[in-house]
Amino acid sequence: MEETEKLPDPEKVLPPSFYSKDPAVVARELLGKRLVRVLNGEALEGTIVETEAYYGAKDPASRAFHGRKNYNRLMWGEPGRVFIYNVHKYWMLNVVAHEPDEIGAVLIRAIEPTRGIKSMLSNRPVKEPRALTSGPGKLTLALGIDKGSHGASVLSPGSEIQILDTASDPIIGTSRRIGVTKDLDRDLRFYVEGNPYVSR
C-alpha cells in the first residue's frame, strides 16, 4: 500500500557527514534508506535495496579511473551531490561519497517502490511489478531522472532528489560489482538479502 503523504519529511534528510566516509561504508549504510524523487510536485519514493561503491584513480571500474574530466569532476567534489552518467543509453544515478580529499561515489542500483507507483508505471510501463525499478537504468526511467539532475544536492529538503533516514536493519549480502570488465579484488556491491527488487 502506498503512503498518502505528498512530500518528504525535511527532518529526515541525511546530513553531509553521512556521505563524508569511505564509499563502501556509505554504500552499505544506504541500504534501507528512502530515496525520494520529487517530480511535478509529487514524491516518487522507494527503499534502496542495492548499491555499488566506486573510488578514484586506483579503481579500474570507476568513472574517475582516467583522471579528472568535465563529466566526472563531481567525484572529487562535495559529498552528497548527484552524479549522473550514461551507460548504453541509460542514466545511472550516483551520489558522491568519499572521505576528505578523496574521490568516490555510490551507484544506486535498485529500489523497492513504495509511493508514487502509478506515476512510475506511467514513466516506465511494465507488466511485472518487480521489473519496475530492479536495476540502475530501470529506476532512473521510472523516477524520471536524467542528466538534468546532475549536480543536484541530496542534502537539501527542497531538492528534487533526497535520501531520507529510516529505522532499518536489513540483512546485507555482498558480491563483486556487476557488468564491469576490470574490478578491484573485494566485494563492492551491497544488497538486501531476499528482496525481489535486487537486480539479480
- This prediction's pTM: 0.93
- Host domain of residue 16: 10-192
Instruction: Evaluate if residue 7 carries a pLDDT over 70.
Output: no
Total domains present in the chain: 1
Q: Is residue 70 part of a domain?
A: yes
What's the Cα-to-Cα distance from 5 to each of 17, 84, 195, rounded to whole Å? 27, 28, 25
Tens of pLDDT, residues 166-197: 988 899 999 999 999 999 999 999 999 999 99
Residue 197 lies in a domain: no
Alpha-carbon gap, residue 27 to 98, rounded angstroms: 11
Tell me how far apart the alpha carbons of residues 134 and 99 are, in angstroms, rounded to a whole number: 29
pLDDT band at 39 (very low <50, low <70, confident <90, very high): very high
